[in-house]
Amino acid sequence: MISSGAGRFTLRATEGAARRGTLSLAHGDVETPAFMPVGTAATIKGLTPDDLRAFGTQIVLANTYHLWLRPGRETIEALGGLHAFMCWDRNILTDSGGFQVFSLESRRELSEHGVRFRSHLDGSEHEFTPENVVAFQEDVGVDVAMTLDVCVKLPAPAGEIDQAVRLTSAWAQRCAAARRRPETALFGVVQGGLDERSRERSARELVALELPGYAIGGLSVGETREELHRISRFTAALLPAHKPRYLMGVGTVSDLLAGIDGGIDLFDCVYPTRCGRNGRALGRTEDLNIKNAAFARDARPLDETCACYVCATYTRAYVSHLFRADEMLGPRLLSYHNLALFSQLMAEARDAIAAGHWAAFRNQHLHPMSP
């Protein structure tokens, strides 16, 4: 096992469990708490790198499974690595592809060695092991790599959860031993379903590896909102205070605020861009289905509290027209707004924690949001 040259985390302020910190990575600092836009196939759907920089994105997420299949490691390496390939000069985190593989169900076969699966694109057979997943992420030059883990659908029987925890820990050990690139920080993934004892075991075994950071996986896979918040808060408290904590796959306004309140530093989710493609404008106090006829002559911005380019430039009426006319600019503008809103929310949360005003900020913004 080698020591990491990246992934240093500085805790700058706390209020209750909420944390304000800085994660130092190879392509710059990430001020936390932070939301990571999801660029599954090396692109945030509908947006350019300049768009992301305009509203302050510090780090994006890409997906090992999808990049492994298309365009493949050799192409990405030949074109200078993932940063050069996607024209992004800030940080990139790649998940291990484990969630995508395990969601294939009938297309995969799990063993102690790893997981064999068939591509959803052409049916070709592939194998992920802890070693080759780490090698892929390091070879394409990402800033944060994730260990290969086993995710289960919830609710899950005790035996299935036990196997997931056991393999996740064993594979994390192998991932740590396989590390070769100091510039890539390796994060472990805590599993355990909704069982607190399994979460404790998983966290204990992963923390013993002294990795640069830790993620909370296995949520947003069928549990209730209350269970999500309870288990994420419980698990965050098991993780080292001096390491970053990442809650995987969570991304509504209320879930982000609840996560920050529970001690989470990093988030990712396809939710804001998926909503953008489907006509849903996210807001601090309410969401809008912009395709509704009520907005056809509405001259207000999407969200009157939002300072993004879209809200400063376009009316609800115009964006509504774009969707009803099936114009591609509509999904692009809503995706921009939704991610910009999240970026603003994270910046304001950081300021509130630093100033000792987190509780008031949380209570002002926390409101029911349906997925």
Same domain, 135 and 227: yes
Same domain, 236 and 340: no
Same domain, 173 and 61: yes
CB neighbourhood size of 76 (10 A)? 22
pLDDT tens sequence across 117-152: 999 899 999 999 999 999 999 999 999 999 999 998
Same domain, 210 and 334: no
Of the listed 95, 139, 261, 265, which one is catalytic? Answer: 95
How large a percentage of the chain has pLDDT more than 70? 97
Same domain, 21 and 104: yes
pLDDT tens sequence across 194-205: 999 999 999 999
CA dist 336 and 311 (Å) reads 10
Give the mean model confidence (pLDDT) for residues 233-238: 98
pLDDT of residue 367: 54
pLDDT of residue 106: 73
Task: Decide which of 270 and 2 is more confident.
Answer: 270
Same domain, 265 and 324: no
Q: Is residue 306 part of a domain?
A: yes
Active site residue 143: no
Same domain, 47 and 132: yes
Packed helices 196-207 and 225-236: angle between N→C axes, nearest 10 degrees: 40
Q: In what order do the strands lie in the sheet with 266-269?
A: 34-37, 266-269, 245-247, 213-216, 185-190, 144-146, 91-95, 59-63
Same domain, 77 and 198: yes
Of the listed 51, 149, 261, 268, which one is catalytic? Answer: 268
pLDDT of residue 55: 97
Domain end position, chosen among 235, 269, 303:
269
Q: What is the chain's mean pLDDT, rounded?
A: 95
Q: With bands split at pLDDT 50, 70 and 90, how would you rate the model's confidence at 1?
A: very low
Q: Is residue 93 part of a domain?
A: yes
With b for 16 or more beta-carbon neighbours within 10 A and e for fewer, the 134-171 pattern comes to bbbbbbbbbbbbbbbbbbbebebeeeebbebbbbbbeb
Domain count, the chain: 2
Residue 4 has pLDDT above 50, yes or no: no
Same domain, 335 and 220: no
Question: pTM value?
Answer: 0.96
* CATH label of the domain that carries residue 236: 3.20.20.105
Domain end position, chosen among 212, 236, 269:
269
Cis ω before 155 (30° cut-off from 0): yes
pLDDT tens sequence across 302-339: 999 999 999 999 999 999 999 999 999 999 999 999 99
Residue 32 has pLDDT above 70, yes or no: yes
pLDDT of residue 100: 83
pLDDT of residue 101: 76
pLDDT of residue 5: 54
Same domain, 15 and 114: yes
Give the mean model confidence (pLDDT) for residues 254-278: 97
Closest listed residue to residue 184, CA positions, set 217, 151, 218, 136: 136
Active site residue 50: no
Q: Is residue 38 part of a domain?
A: yes
CA dist 37 and 222 (Å) reads 22
Same domain, 164 and 241: yes
Q: Is residue 185 part of a domain?
A: yes
Closest listed residue to residue 287, CA positions, set 254, 314, 240: 254
User: Amino acid identity of 263?
Assistant: G
Q: Is residue 49 part of a domain?
A: yes
Residue 45 has pLDDT above 60, yes or no: yes
Domain extent, residue 345, equals 284-356
Give the mean model confidence (pLDDT) for residues 223-239: 97
Closest listed residue to residue 178, CA positions, set 216, 150, 205, 209: 209
Contacts of 362 (CB under 8 A, 6+ apart): 18, 257, 260, 261, 352
